[in-house]
Amino acid sequence: MKFRKGTHDATGLRVGIVVSKFNKFVTSRLLTAAVETLKKAGAMDEALEVVRVPGAFEIPLAARALARTGRFDAVVCLGAVIRGETPHFDYISAEASRGIAQIALECDLPVVFGVLTTNTVAQAIERADPAKHNRGAEAARTAIEMVTILRDIRDTQPARRSTAATKLKTARKRA
């Protein structure tokens, strides 16, 4: 039996980061921690690209645009959706998570969900606290690990590729 696991070495990795401006008091902390984590793991500053979008609902579209360029090994999605008094929270968090998952499968690329979905502002602040367990840093570590796992799997696969992967590779060459 063979077990595979990723590493936490980001040397040579190119990472796109999409971050929501809404709830900036939280998302700025997520972004700072994600960038610091990537750099500490070996990613170069020039290999990181940050795209700021208005809110969490807009994250999937920008993430898909980055993923389709073929320039990135992973895309990290950061945002904060905090429950209010209306069902808006349910719609935004569901669509953001669905969209991010869909892009990862469609583009055959790690597209990491680093969007906080909390009941209170206090919970969001706690999950973005650099002194505790910052979810932006966690999303960056997940991206690194997924890139290295997928590289390991792909390096040992037969040369045959799926139709979707072939189409994506062709589209990336054209871009």
The active-site residue, picked from 4, 8, 88, 169, is 88
Which two three-digit tokens encode residue 95? 């669509």
Is 133 assigned a catalytic role?
no
**Looking at beta carbons, which pairs linking 153-157 to residues 24 or more positions away fall under 8 Å?**
153/4
Helix (H, G, I), strand (E, B) or coil at 112: strand
Burial tier of 87 (Cβ tally within 10 Å: 0-12, 13-18, 19+) = exposed
Q: What does DSSP say about strands 48-53 and 111-118: parallel, antiparallel, or unpaired?
A: unpaired
Which two three-digit tokens encode residue 35? 């960038």
Which residues are part of the catalytic machinery? 88
